[in-house]
Amino acid sequence: MRVLITRPEREATALATALGERGHMPVIAPLFRLEILRPPAGFAAALAACQAVLLTSANGARALAEASDQRGRPILAVGDTTAATAEGLGFTSVTSASGDGAALAELVRERLDPKSGPLLHVSGMDVGFDLSEPLSHHGFEVHRFALYEAREATELPASATAALAARALDVATFFSPRAAAQFKKLVEEAGLADALRDVTALAISPAALAPLGGLPFRQAIAAGRPTRQAVLDEIDRLAQGGVQAEATMSETSPPPTAGMVRTVEVRRGLGVIGAFITGVVASVIVLAAALITLPFWPEQARSLWRGQAAPPPPPTAALDLEAVRRDATTVANAAIDAARRDLSARLDDLEKRLRAVSASTAERPASPEPALAELRRKVEALENRPAPSESSAQQPAAPSVDAQKEIASLNRDIAALQAAVQAVNQSMATQRDQAKALSDAVGARGAGEQKALAAARASALIGVAVRLSWALDLGLPFSGDLALLTPLSQGDAKLGEIAGQLQPHAQTGVASRAALAAEFPAVAKAALAEDLADDSFGERVLGKLRGVVSLRRVGDVPGETVEAKLARAETALKAGDLAKGVELVKSLPPQVGKATAAWLARADAHLAVERAVDQLAAYAVSLLGAAR
C-alpha cells in the first residue's frame, strides 16, 4: 500500500519506518511544524508539587524532557507510543492507558488519590481532550502547561501534492481532528479533492475522521482502537483485502458488454470507440513496458511479479538518544572536573609557599632597630650637653678621659650600625631573589593551567558536536544542544560564526537522511510525470501512465535524461550520499522544478547543518591538539 502520513516530521519518520518494515511505501507530508516552547515561570514549582504528570502525546514527553531534568516523577501516558517515547527519554516510572483521553482519565481515577496532590498535564497549545473537566468531578486538581505548539502548514506539502496529482496513493492516515481539518482545507485550496476518489481515509479514531466529511474518498475508516498499532494493522488488512478483491474480480467478473462500454466517462472528445481503443492501447503499452523494464525493477518488485513475498527489511535498531546524550555530557563534565581538581591542587601548593615566605620574613629579627635607637640616644645626649664658657673657648684644652671614652663608644656603635645595615641589605637581596623565583614558578604553573583549561574546553566542544550530530541523524530539534555552546563561545569569533549557522534550524531541526530518502520516490515520480517533451496526445497519455503506474528505471542508469538522473539520484540517496543526490536533482530541467523544490529545500537545510556540525568538530579537535 502507498500510504500518506500527515503527522509532524518526527512521528512521521517513525511511522514510515514501521510501514517500510511491513512492506508498504510511505509518503511523508507533515501538515504541522513542531516548536518546543519555553516553560512558564510557575512550571518548576508545579512540577515539584504534583503527584504525577499526565501526557497526551509523544510530543508532550519530548517537551517535558526539554523543560526539566527530572526523570523520576510518575508519568501516566495516553497510549503505548507516548509511554515508549517517555521511557526512551529516561523517565523511570511510566504507565500507559493504551487508549484515548477518556482511558487516561479512567487510569488516573483508578491509580491516584485526589488527596495526594495536584496533577500536571503537559500538552500543546491546542488540546483535543481536556482532562481537567472529567477529573475535577472526582476531586482532582489539574494544572495544564502548554510546552509545545504544532504550527499549521500554509499549503499542502510538495510530497502530498505530487502523490495526489499522480494518483499514487492508496491510503491517507490521520491521527487527530486538527490534522484532518487542516488536510481538508489545504486539499480544497489546491483543487486536488477529485484526486481522492481512489484513496482510503484511515483515522485513529471516529473524532479524527469526522472533519473529512465532504471529501470524495473511496472509503473512510476509523481504527478499532485509538493506537498507532491499530492503524498499522488496519493498513495491513486493507492491503490483504485489496489483493483478495482483485483475485475475485479476475475469476468471477463477466466479460465487458456494450452497456458497460457506454458507461465509460469520455474526455477530450474521443468518443466511445476512441476511448475503448485508447484503453486497449494503453493496456498493451503498460504490459509491454513492464516486460521490457523487468530487469531494471528493484528486487522486491521482481519478487512480487513472480508471486514471491518479499522478505521484510531488518528492523532498525532504535537509539536511546537520551542515554547517549547523558554519556556525552558525562564525558565532558568529567574532563572539566579533572582540570578543576588539578588547578585547585596547584593553587593550594603556591599559596602554601607564599605563606611560608611571608612567615619567614615576619619572623626575621629587625637587628638594626636597637642599634639605631642607642645611637640616637647618645647623639641627643651630646647635643644636650652645656656649651663651654667663653674663657674655656678661648683656651683649647685637650679632651677629657670621659670624652675620649664616649667618642670611642660612638665609633663602635657606628661600626655596629654599618654592619647591621649591610646585613639588612643582604637579607633584602635574598628576599628579592626568592620572590623572583616564586614569580617564575607561578608563571610556569599558570601556563600549564591554561593548557588544562583549553583541553577541557575542547573536550566539551567535542561532546556538543557529538550531540548535534545525533540530533541531525534522527531529525530532531537541537536548541538545547546548541545552548551548550553559549558559555563556550564567548570571545571566540569562530564558534560564534558556527553557532550562527546552526541557529535558524535549532527549534525545528532538519529532515534526516532516512526521511529524505523515503520521500524521494514520490518526488521522482512527480518529476518524471512533468517531464513531457511536447503537448502531443501521445506524450500526454504517456505522462498519465507514468503518474498512475509509476513505471521508471532505477539503479545506475547512464545518460542525461530526467529518468536517468532521477535513477542515479535515488541510488546515491540509498548509499547515503545526499550531496550527490541533491546535485543530480538540481541539474534537472526547469519544468520539473515544481515537483522537486520543497524536497531540495529540506535537503539543502540538512546539508547546511551537517557542514556546520563538521566545522565544529574539526575546530574542537584543533583546539585539543593545540592544548596538548
SS (H, E, C) 19-43: HHHCCCEEEECCCEEEEECCCCCCH
DSSP 8-state symbol, 560: S
Residue 118 and residue 583: Cα distance in Å, rounded?
Answer: 56
Closest CA to 556 of 540, 572, 539: 572
Q: Calculate the CA dihedral of residues 514, 520, 521, 527 and round it to 10 degrees.
A: 180
Answer whether residue 48 is part of any domain.
Answer: yes
Enumerate the H helices of 80-146 as residue ranges: 80-88, 101-111, 132-136
pLDDT band with cut points at 50, 70 and 90 for residue 381: low
pLDDT band with cut points at 50, 70 and 90 for residue 446: low
Closest CA to 227 of 57, 65, 52: 57
- Domain end, chosen from 309, 328, 356, is at 309
Average pLDDT, rounded, for the chain? 76
Answer whether residue 567 is part of any domain.
Answer: no
Kindly give the pairing relationship between strand 32-36 and strand 119-124.
unpaired
Query: How many CA within 13 A on the CB side of residue 363?
Result: 6
Mean pLDDT, residues 226-239 taken together: 89
Nearest-Å Rg of the Cα atoms of the chain is: 42
The residue with cell 645611637 is 375
Give percent above pLDDT 90 in the chain: 14
Answer whether residue 62 is part of any domain.
Answer: yes
Answer whether residue 293 is part of any domain.
Answer: yes
Q: What is residue 316's predicted lDDT score, i.e. its pLDDT? A: 42
- Domain end, chosen from 104, 131, 152, is at 152
Answer whether residue 148 is part of any domain.
Answer: yes
The residue with cell 534537472 is 588
Domain count, the chain: 2
CA distances from 386 to 47, 381, 400, 596 (A): 96, 10, 15, 119
More confident residue, 458 or 589: 589
Q: What is the pLDDT of residues 22-41, one digit of tens each?
A: 889 898 888 888 788 889 98
Task: State yes or no: pLDDT of 486 exceeds 60.
Answer: yes
Task: State yes or no: pLDDT of 119 exceeds 90.
Answer: yes
Closest CA to 467 of 335, 620, 607: 620
CA distances from 197 to 118, 267, 541 (A): 49, 17, 20
Mean pLDDT, residues 262-270 taken together: 39
Query: How many CA within 13 A on the CB side of residue 558?
Result: 0
Residue 455 and residue 342: Cα distance in Å, rounded?
Answer: 13
Answer whether residue 115 is part of any domain.
Answer: yes
Q: In this structure, what CATH number is given to the domain that contains residue 138?
A: 3.40.50.10090
Answer whether residue 58 is part of any domain.
Answer: yes
pLDDT band with cut points at 50, 70 and 90 for residue 231: very high
- Domain end, chosen from 134, 152, 170, is at 152
**Domain of 50, in residue numbers:** 32-152
Go through 137-154 and write b for each residue having 16 or more CB atoms within 10 A of its CB, e for each that does not.
Answer: eeebebbbbbbbbbeebe
Mean pLDDT, residues 121-126 taken together: 86
Answer whether residue 570 is part of any domain.
Answer: no
Q: What is residue 54's predicted lDDT score, i.e. its pLDDT? A: 93
Would you state the cell numbers that stand for residue 347, as one nine-digit string? 593553587
Q: What is residue 325's predicted lDDT score, i.e. its pLDDT? A: 54
Residue 602 and residue 607: Cα distance in Å, rounded?
Answer: 9
Residue 10 and residue 474: Cα distance in Å, rounded?
Answer: 8
